[in-house]
Structure 1
Amino acid sequence: MKTDWILLVVFHMAGFIQIGRSQEECEVNILSADSEVFVPLGDFFLLNCSYTCPNAILKTRLTRSNPQNGTNWKSAQVLVDDFEQSNASCVYKLPEKLKDSAITLMAYVLPSHVTIDLQGELEEDKQHNITCIVHDVAPVRYLNISVTRGGEVIHSKAYKEDHRKGKVTVKETYEFTASRGDNLQMFTCQATLLLGSLPNTTVQSSSISVRTYALPEDPLIRMDKWIEFETSPLAECLVSNGFPTENVTLQMFINDELLDKYPGVPGNSQTRGIYKLSNSSYHLGLNNVTCISRLSELSRNNTMYINIYEAPELVIGLSNHIVGLNNSVTVDCNITNSNPADYCASISVNKEKKEESCGSSISYSITVSRREPKITVTCTVFLGQNPNISQTSTETIAVHYVPQFTEVLCPKDNILVEGHKTTFPCTVDGSPKPFLNCSSEVWSAPPDNFTVARNMSTGYLCVASNSRGRVRKHVHITVEYPPGTPTLIFSPDRTISNGELFNVTCQSDAWPAPEYRWNIPTEDHVTYSQGHSSITVNMASVSHSGTYTCQVTNRHGTSSRQQEVVIVGDNTWMLIVIGIVIALVVVAVVLLIWCLVKKRNGRRGFYNLLTRNRSKKLENGLNHEHTSQNTTKV
């Protein structure tokens, strides 16, 4: 109320300020911070009107009390005692003009209390309901209900479209999926009246702390379904995702008898139980192993059926271990287990099943009709309900027969290559393994991995023998080798003149006979022999001069040889003769000149060209004059 009186004074001061204004500019105003004013049901609200207009009035349907007037202001207490929306206005009215200021007054009632309905234990991954009940609240269209988890709003709903009047009770249900994150969280319902700037309009319920749990998955049983009798297999049970783990208990049974219990360990996502079975735990035949996981009063279970069996036992027998061609032998496959009816037996010959029967031992007769050194006989005994559980025994029958040469093992004609390492190309079929010897008039059969030589080409007689008989066969070996370096033979072997006929023959040692290829200066007037081993130039010319190359090839190699050929033209001999004559004339002239010079030098040596009266001078300068004379001769 103190605040209201302060506001009233403020309005009065405003009224004094407006006194000097003209009537046409007057104003009216109701003191209120909001256009909508919410008042607790049954409370009074101070309605203040300030104005500069004369004779302004307060209008409202609500009951007024304690009216007061002042200069340019009016006030009154109005009682808000129902839930109808009420208008209050300050009005100045002239015939041609209306001025007013209005607010809306509404009564409200905060909820008397809020309740929450939620189970204290929630199963994870399941749908659960939270129910909030708001009692005796008005007006409901301003109500907002929210659900919080750990102080965080997880659901909220407003009732703006609900226009019911008076105090009502509202129920809101929220469905959610529980998760492990909800464990030990506080859940609360809150009811709030959204009344503008009015504070403290929220009422909340008490909080509920929940615990979540997760029922474990179906137990997983790990063990073999087929177990041999008088062994100690391990049986393992495993449950996952039970929460809280410490509340999980695992039990293991065999044939409905409890084997052991295994408690869950806090912090582990799995609970595991392992039990070692003994002979006293099970019996021959079908047994059941059951695992049960429990969480409080809840449980899940799984059952696995296991078969306890006696390992198959057998004895194999043969009427004979050695048999000749076209003779017979009997195979016996005997089941020696205490209860043969639970087992089956089969007989295979060289991995081909020939006989099979269940419940008793079996026999099979083999007639040998093929040339093969041995026959493998297999006896298999297996569990009738599970063929994978079996026992096998194998015996070998030796088959004896006379040696035999075949074209595949010992071909009549054979080709070997010189220089290659190989074995003699003849073997023999027979059992027991025959002794084999191959020889010729010159050669005995070489040892294994011999080096082939060309002089081994000849015929051989091969003889094979064993305890069943003796056979023989003639074979021939041809040794092939690559071409040697060819030889070129020219005919005629003298100088070839222009227009003459000449022949070139290429010879090379090779087997098989080689092919001949030529590389020559020109093909003009050239003919080839059959096989191209030689060529004939029918009319030689200078164009046939050059290099003649012969290449020989067979499937083992290639070799070649070349030779230069010069063809002499028609005037060559004349030029040669003229050249020789000129050369002889030149030699004769040189000899003649030489003889004349020798003759002349001899005559000058016999005459004294010095006078008598100069004899003394000659004696003094003898050496000098002698030199002069020699110089003159030259």
Structure 2
Amino acid sequence: MGIYWVLLAVFHMNIFINKGNCCIVNIKSNKDFVIFGQTVLLECTSNCMDVVWETRLTKLSTKKEDYSSSVEVLVQDWEDSPIKCVADSNNEKVTKAETRVIPYALPSKMTIDLKEELEEDKEHEVTCSAYGVAPVKYVILSVTRGGVVFLNKTYEGDTRREPHNLTETFKFMARRSDNMRDFACQVTLNLTRVTNATVDSPSVIIKTYALPENPRIRVEEWMEKGTQTYISCEVLHSFPTENITTKLSVDGFPNFSATGNTFVSIPLDTSNLTEGQYKVICVSEVYNFSKQSDQTIVIYESPNMTLMASRKVINLGYPVQIDCNLFQGNAQYFGLSLRVDGVEKKRVQFPDLVEKINATRRKPDISVTCELFIQENGKVLFTAEEALTVHYPPEFNDVSCPNSLIWVDGQERMFGCSSDGNPTPEEQCSFNNLFLQSTSYFTAERNMSGVYMCRASNSVGTVTKSVEVTVQYPPGTPTVNISKSSIGAKVSVNLSCYSDALPHPVYNWTIPPNAQVEFSQDNRSITIKKASWCHNGNYTCYATNKHGQSLAHWDLKSDIDNTMLIAIVCVCIGVFLAVILGLTTYIIHQKKKRGKYCFIKKKEDGIPMQNIKHENQNDGNLLQDKSTD
């Protein structure tokens, strides 16, 4: 109200200042939007004396004062109704101002359509309805979650002015965090200078749940009658667990049932059930939603079968008939499989299996297996096995009986040639009336080298093979020979070495330190080109192979005169001593010359004689010390 009087005073002052000028008209309203059927107060100010109101709305009251006029109008028309304030200026010119007041209506009713139980991570719909709201262009229709808007719809381009019923359906993804939260629909009219323009529907508190998987039944599908076991059912990743109800039962047997939350287990004694098929049912429920799993189980009579072979012993390449028969149990449930050495040969879904097999491998026995299996899942319930013996003739191969053998003299060993056969063959190898059993030990000798004829025999056949045997031995004591018995100065001499060994030995020598010799290519011999006293000494020959080593010595003595050598050595020693004596004499002479020079020099400088004598004495002593050193 205070603002009103201030504006009025400013207006009157403006009239006073502009008196005599053109007429000015202003309209002021306390509201821009008015609830339909309510009134609004308008005020018009002017510097002209006569002001009148023009409108098709009903005027309830009018009040005039100097330079102003107010009117109260009833807003009950949805059409556009302008309100004009008209002033007459000296009956000459009409001045007017115009305004509009927009009627609105809040919804008479708000509703929300939303299920109270929502499955998590699924898309759901919520429908909001607003009744009798206007104008539509200002409406914001929203969905709130926990009082916070998270979905909305606006109608800015809608020109409808009268009240209308608005309905919108929104889609959203339910989350676990939505559990036990309130959802509501809301209408807000976006009006200026209007408060409390929001209407909410009644709220709905929702409950979320999760049953993402069907219940998991754990049970043996095929059970022999008389088996005692457990049946269980588990519901994984469900929510809320306290609201989950799970029921486990066996169809047709109401006594076999149990109820729990997310896990249920019941004992099952198949002795109480007749043979046949049964359905295990597990139903999990939360609120009005449920999921179900079924699994069929079969109770069967314990089966049995026989396995027979026409012969237990067969020769290589000959056939044998195998019979496998089911003689107890329901034949429609089971099948038979025949395996030979682990490899399946035949598979039938009948109670009888007959098959002929051949022994094609050099192998002393064949494993024949008959398996009884469940046709539906292939599970093996029963196995019978029979071992057949296979006979085949002996056979030599290069691994167990090489074409050539190497023995070592003096070693204990077996022959080293064996054959493969069943029954186990008898083996013997012979050479020059020497007969050796392949499985007996003997000591190898050098005279056993040669080509042996090996023979292997059993009840199925006989086979022979030639084997070359080489007996090796270490080197014997070497024989050293010298080319000359008497060795003079500058005479050529040859020493040779030989040792009997197999394989042939490698030769090596040790000779005197200063001896100059030449070795042959195979190292068996050495040659002294010009014999001298330096070649005197011990010569040793070494013969080596992979089985051992042997050696022999030869002491070489030459007939060379050593007188001249001794004389040369003596002359060399004398010359060496003379050089040492000469150097010593020269050093002493040089020291004496230095002392005499010092004496003369000091006398010229006026040094007292006693000092010179003393220094000479010192020099003499020094010279003596040097000589001593």
TM-score (structure 1 length as normaliser): 0.64
Which string of whole-angstrom CA distances, capped at 9 and with x for unpartnered residues, describes residues 479-534 of structure 1? 44688999987756887977x7665656566533357899xxxxxx99966x6755
- What amino acid maps onto 2:221 in structure 1? K
What residue in structure 1 maps to residue 106 of structure 2?
Answer: 111
CA 1:175–1:208 in 2, change beyond 3 Å: closer, same or farther?
Answer: same
Q: State whether structure 2 residue 144 is matched by structure 1 residue 144.
A: no
- What amino acid maps onto 2:270 in structure 1? S
CA 1:308–1:42 in 2, change beyond 3 Å: closer, same or farther?
Answer: closer
CA 1:146–1:32 in 2, change beyond 3 Å: closer, same or farther?
Answer: farther
CA 1:555–1:299 in 2, change beyond 3 Å: closer, same or farther?
Answer: same
Distance 1:37 1:386 in 2: 82
Distance 1:109 1:256 in 2: 68
Distance 2:470 2:286 in 1: 92
CA 1:24–1:435 in 2, change beyond 3 Å: closer, same or farther?
Answer: farther
Choose from 384, 407, 417 the match for 1:393. Answer: 384
Distance 2:315 2:42 in 1: 135
Q: State whether structure 2 residue 328 is matched by structure 1 residue 337.
A: yes
3-state secondary structure, aligned to 2:32: strand
Which string of whole-angstrom CA distances, capped at 9 and with x for unpartnered residues, describes residues 235-284 of structure 1? 3333446655555444444454435444343xxxx343444242333414
Distance 1:93 1:426 in 2: 147
- What amino acid maps onto 2:113 in structure 1? L
- Using the TM superposition, give the Cα deviation of residue 116 of structure 1 relative to its aligned residue in structure 2, in angstroms: 0.8
Q: Any residues of structure 2 matched to 1:270-349 within 5 Å, and which?
A: 270-284=262-276, 286-295=277-286, 299-317=290-308, 333-337=324-328
Which string of whole-angstrom CA distances, capped at 9 and with x for unpartnered residues, describes residues 159-185 of structure 1? 221122233333333233444444433
CA 1:409–1:13 in 2, change beyond 3 Å: closer, same or farther?
Answer: closer
What residue in structure 2 maps to residue 615 of structure 1?
Answer: none
Q: Which runs of 5+ in 1 are unaligned?
A: 519-524, 542-547, 566-572, 588-634
Distance 1:213 1:581 in 2: 124
Contact 2:250 2:256 in 1 (8 A): no
What residue in structure 2 maps to residue 206 of structure 1?
Answer: 202
Distance 1:288 1:222 in 2: 13
Choose from 181, 185, 201 the match for 1:189. Answer: 185
Q: State whether structure 2 residue 71 is matched by structure 1 residue 77.
A: yes
What residue in structure 2 maps to residue 134 of structure 1?
Answer: 131
3-state secondary structure, aligned to 1:11: helix
Which string of whole-angstrom CA distances, capped at 9 and with x for unpartnered residues, describes residues 320-345 of structure 1? 65678899977654543256676555
CA 1:484–1:353 in 2, change beyond 3 Å: closer, same or farther?
Answer: farther
Distance 1:85 1:66 in 2: 18
What residue in structure 2 maps to residue 513 of structure 1?
Answer: 504
What residue in structure 2 maps to residue 628 of structure 1?
Answer: none
Contact 1:431 1:466 in 2 (8 A): yes
What residue in structure 1 maps to residue 33 of structure 2?
Answer: 38
- What amino acid maps onto 1:115 in structure 2? M
Distance 1:261 1:341 in 2: 30
- What amino acid maps onto 1:301 in structure 2? Q
TM-score (structure 2 length as normaliser): 0.65
What residue in structure 1 maps to residue 605 of structure 2?
Answer: none
Distance 2:392 2:319 in 1: 14
Which deviates more from structure 2 when the two are superposed, residues 435-444 or residues 345-354? Answer: 435-444
What residue in structure 2 maps to residue 158 of structure 1?
Answer: 154
- Using the TM superposition, give the Cα deviation of residue 414 of structure 1 relative to its aligned residue in structure 2, in angstroms: 0.9
Which deviates more from structure 2 when the two are superposed, residues 327-336 or residues 438-447? Answer: 438-447
Q: State whether structure 2 residue 163 is matched by structure 1 residue 167.
A: yes
CA 1:311–1:487 in 2, change beyond 3 Å: closer, same or farther?
Answer: farther
CA 1:180–1:387 in 2, change beyond 3 Å: closer, same or farther?
Answer: closer
Q: Which runs of 5+ in 2 are unaligned?
A: 510-516, 533-538, 575-629
- What amino acid maps onto 1:171 in structure 2? T
Choose from 400, 405, 415 the match for 1:414. Answer: 405
- Using the TM superposition, give the Cα deviation of residue 362 of structure 1 relative to its aligned residue in structure 2, in angstroms: 6.0
3-state secondary structure, aligned to 1:415: strand
Choose from 115, 121, 127 the match for 2:116. Answer: 121
Contact 1:115 1:132 in 2 (8 A): yes
Contact 1:28 1:49 in 2 (8 A): no
Distance 1:301 1:578 in 2: 123
Contact 1:256 1:290 in 2 (8 A): no
- Using the TM superposition, give the Cα deviation of residue 415 of structure 1 relative to its aligned residue in structure 2, in angstroms: 1.3
What residue in structure 2 maps to residue 613 of structure 1?
Answer: none
